[in-house]
Amino acid sequence: MAEKASSLMFNVRRHEPELITPAKPTPREIKLLSDIDDQDGLRFQVPIIQFYKNNSSMQGKNPAKIIKSALAETLVHYYPLAGRLREGFGRKLMVECTGEGILFIEADADVTLHEFGDDLPPPFPCLVELLYDVPGSSGIIDTPLLLIQVTRLKCGGFIFALRLNHTMSDASGLVQFMTAVGEMARGQRSLSIQPVWERHLLNARDPPRVTHIHHEYDDLEDTKGTIIPLDDMVHRSFFFGPSEMAAIRRLVPAHFHRSTTSEVLTAYLWRCYTIALQPDPEEEMRVICVVNSRTKLNPPLPTGFYGNGIAFPAAISQAKKICENPFGYTLQLVKQTKVDVTEEYMRSAADLMAMKGRPHFTVVRRYMVSDVTRAGFGLVDFGWGRPEPVYGGPAKGGVGPIPGVTSFFVPFKNRKGEKGIVVPTCLPTPAMERFAKLMNEILQNQLLVSAEENKSVFIVSAI
């Protein structure tokens, strides 16, 4: 049984999990991951979920069968994904290309897409049914690198859910693979983008040398109990449409008017997060911004590269400065942090991994933000059209093996038809209540300033 917040109950009938192997023989070899890929903070499984409506042109066709066949064809090109991770000296990860395959589950649910409701933002309480955790499959070493479940719905639509070993790909790389599966499912004979391994491009130098300060990997003691236990977390999503973003931008100083939506929203959420947690005023707080560094290198990473090409720069400040200073203070920190990501920064990060045992991101007093609005999850088409305007993207916030607050920025259309960004996040229950209340109060105050123009007051939607 699965239960949605609206008390929706339904049954899911699953076939036995099976291994999908490449449709043709593939090379048997060892491929090393990069020193960005195999850092400790990426050694976890990340869930993705895509909802697809019924398409009359695909009447009578079985999405599970079509996608299963397309996966086998795609794995001929992406054959490392059909292998297994091994760990060598110094915790170095490598793929043994065994061709053993990825896990696939075919399922049926006695529910329609309409019954899920008008809005389909994360978190999804039914995720455990729509993405079954096959016993023994969730480890990082010696297990399938991908798990996919296709669940057919009564209405003719279906749900595509996927779990990826994050060491293999970032969001851009994963969408590239999913797009390739979609092309094969739609009958294309060749891929529009050929996959490129080339993980050595993000390996440590010889000899390695750390030339930047990497606060994201600071080894901090939790002196005041600020690491949040996983069992104390509540998940919730917030929608930021045109009205909400306009209200936040009224807080932006004139000299920062060209700041991106991602920068403004990151700074705003970090400030609200800090206030909501009520830390000691002297405590140092961090926000880690996931930055796509593909174009930061010279030359840029090649088209088709599907590894982790991301950096994790951290802005840092005392809690009292975040809470007491105008919004421009926090925004400036976020903007500068992103500017700091250069080719040398990436080289330095790879060198740090090799020199210091591939450390995990700090989880003490930190907030992590990953903007996937341009990753392309909503463009993946298996023949039934795009998941838009339903939902396609990360299945929840706060993913990862170690406690810590993580938010994704996901493109979304709400029940009113407004396009914006939905932000799944997680916090302890009391902090989440303060977080939501604080955001609503700030937005309401800002929108009241322009009530004459807007003729109404909009409040951020807590979904």
Enumerate the active-site residues.
166, 381
Q: Which amino acid is at 279?
A: P
**CB-hemisphere CA count at 13 Å for 218?**
20
Report the DSSP beta bridge partners of residue 314.
Answer: 288
* 247 token code pair: 């209200």
Relative orientation angle of helices 261-277 and 327-339, to the nearest 10 degrees: 120
Instruction: Report CA Rg, the chain.
Output: 22
If we measure between CA atoms, which residue out of 270, 218, 305 comes closest to residue 36?
Answer: 305
C-alpha–C-alpha distance, residues 376 and 175, integer Å: 6
Q: Which amino acid is at 145?
A: L
End-to-end CA distance of the chain: 22
If we measure between CA atoms, which residue out of 368, 407, 413 comes closest to residue 390?
Answer: 413
Report the DSSP beta bridge partners of residue 18.
Answer: 104
Residues with Cβ < 8 Å from 187, sequence gap 6 or more?
A: none
If we measure between CA atoms, which residue out of 260, 228, 223 comes closest to residue 363?
Answer: 228
Query: How crowded is residue 137: how many other Cβ atoms within 10 Å of its Cβ?
Result: 15
**CB-based burial of residue 310 (10 Å sphere; 0-12 exposed, 13-18 middle, 19+ buried)?**
buried
Q: Are 101 and 39 in contact (CB under 8 A)?
A: no
3-class DSSP state of 40? helix
Q: Are 350 and 36 in contact (CB under 8 A)?
A: yes
Q: Are 152 and 108 in contact (CB under 8 A)?
A: yes
Q: Are 78 and 169 in contact (CB under 8 A)?
A: no
C-alpha–C-alpha distance, residues 413 and 421, integer Å: 8
If we measure between CA atoms, which residue out of 120, 144, 152, 126 comes closest to residue 14?
Answer: 152
Q: Are 213 and 435 in contact (CB under 8 A)?
A: no
Give ∠ CA 426-409-118 in degrees, rounded to 5.
Answer: 85
